[in-house]
Amino acid sequence: MAFKLRFALLLGSFSVLLILAYRQWLAGPSALAVMLSLTALLCAVFIWRHNRKQQHQTALVLKALANQDTSLTLRGQSTLQSLLAQVQQQLSNSRQQAEARAQYLQALLSQLDIAVLEFTDNNHLLQANPAAQRLLSPAQYQQLQLGRFNEGNLQLLAAVLKQTNTHYQGQLQWQQHGYQDRLALSIVCTRIQGQLRKLVTLQSIDQALLQQEVQAYQQLTRVLTHEIANSVTPMASLAQSCQQILPAADTVLNHSDHADLDEALSTINRRGQHLAGFIQSFKQLSQPVQPRLEHTDLVAIIHNCLALQRSAFARHGIQLHTSLPAQAMLWLDEALMEQVLINLLQNAMDAMTEVTQKQLTLSLQPDTQQHWQLDIADSGPGISAAVAQQIFIPFFTTKQTGSGIGLSLSRALLQVQDAQLNYVPGEEPGSCFRISFQQ
């Protein structure tokens, strides 16, 4: 409306000037030229001011959109004001949707058990999710932020990062506190706003591989025990039946032959019963374990197990040393945990049978990721490297009377409680078994 009014005023002024110019033309040509010049100048000024105002309004609109300012009003421009409001609303909706997606992705990354790290093209760490911060020690995390890879684990990661410009998948040996882990490593390179980014994921596969190994042993044990039991049980039963119907001595057989046959049948029956009991113990490995997890004090469980073994420690002359906190609350199955601890304590006592200085040490403390780990160390002769590679294989044993299922069963019982059992070689004579709780 304002533009139309100004245009009408301009048109009226132009008409007046034309009338004046006609009168001046009657007076003389020079006066007409002056009036026409003034009229042209007035039109030019009007057009220039109108363009300046339009440019100013355009600048205000663009600035308001850039600054996300919704308070701008254009007086007398209702159509333009409505369009501006629509554009601002669409931009606001798009921004809110982008923020919601970013928050969702951030929440999703924080819930993943897989470590996710983002690096720049020069291998500086930009961000990492909580799982990555749990995997890395504080010193390692600080080194990555500075673009340094001095620590042993990080040197292996740096070698792969520097050689990767597109994508990479493989495994990485990762030395945890006290044991060596295997990580699945994946690297994807992309460009964000023209900048190269390397997205790295790290996931422990050691537990998964151990779980598959345990399941394979369970399946093998289930088949073996079934087949052996099907043969041994009837043999023992037949031997017992034959012994019952054996004629009296000196009737069919002489006394010597009767005694030999009776002893043979007794031996078959006895060994059959022994094998049947032996097979029953193996069945423990083939049965899936269903834990009943409760928020339990691990320190209290340790004290209970030590109390059960106190008389055995005194009888064998074993000196007990403990380094335990006041409390360590974890989600555990108390019965399964006691079974594991009693087995490890018994193994430690058996290992120190032939040594003079008998010392048993239990230490419970958090590792670098603030996860609890329990060390059970003895002062026995230790375990050779060749034997250490086989001690968790079912049925393998170095004891003359051992069944070879204690350590493999203990590892299986701990796995269902989100814990891991490993042998930790040391410089001093003796053995150390470490239970690492991933809680």
pLDDT in tens, 333-383: 988 898 899 889 998 998 898 888 899 999 999 876 678 999 999 998 888
What is the structure's pLDDT at 401? 58
What is the structure's pLDDT at 323? 93
Contacts of 243 (CB under 8 A, 6+ apart): 262, 265, 266, 269
Return the sign of the alpha-carbon dihedral for residues 89, 92, 94, 96: negative
Average pLDDT (69-75) is 64
Task: Give the separation between CA 286 and CA 405, rounded to whole angstroms.
Answer: 11
What residues form DSSP beta bridges with 419? Answer: 437
In total, the chain counts a number of residues equal to: 439
Confidence tier at 68 by pLDDT (50, 70, 90): low
Residue 63: HSE in the Cβ half-sphere, 13 Å Cα cutoff: 9
Average pLDDT (189-202) is 85
For the full predicted model, state whether its pTM sits above 0.85.
Answer: no
pLDDT at 434 over 80: yes
Q: How do 372-378 and 419-423 pair as beta strands?
A: unpaired
Neighbours of 221 (CB within 10 A): 21
What is the structure's pLDDT at 221? 65
Q: Tokens representing 205?
A: 């596969």
pLDDT at 158 over 90: no
Q: Which residue has the higher pLDDT, 106 or 306?
A: 306
Strongest mean pLDDT among 16-30, 258-272, 412-426: 412-426
Which overall architecture, per CATH, does domain 112-204 show?
2-Layer Sandwich (3.30)
Looking at residue 227, its amino acid is: E
Task: Give the separation between CA 152 and CA 132, rounded to whole angstroms.
Answer: 17
What is the structure's pLDDT at 325? 93
pLDDT at 241 over 80: no
Task: Give the separation between CA 365 and CA 35, rounded to whole angstroms.
Answer: 102
Percent of the chain whose pLDDT exceeds 90: 11
Average pLDDT (177-181) is 64
**CB of 117 closer than 8 Å to CB of 128:** yes
Question: With respect to CATH, is domain 294-437 assigned 3.30.565.10?
Answer: yes
What is the structure's pLDDT at 300? 92
What is the structure's pLDDT at 125? 85
pLDDT at 288 over 80: no
pLDDT at 256 over 80: no
Instruction: Indicate the range of 106-120, 185-199, 321-335, 345-359 predicted with least confidence.
Output: 106-120
pLDDT in tens, 34-50: 555 666 666 666 677 76
What residues form DSSP beta bridges with 204? Answer: 183
What residues form DSSP beta bridges with 297? Answer: 329
pLDDT at 199 over 80: yes
End-to-end CA distance of the chain: 73
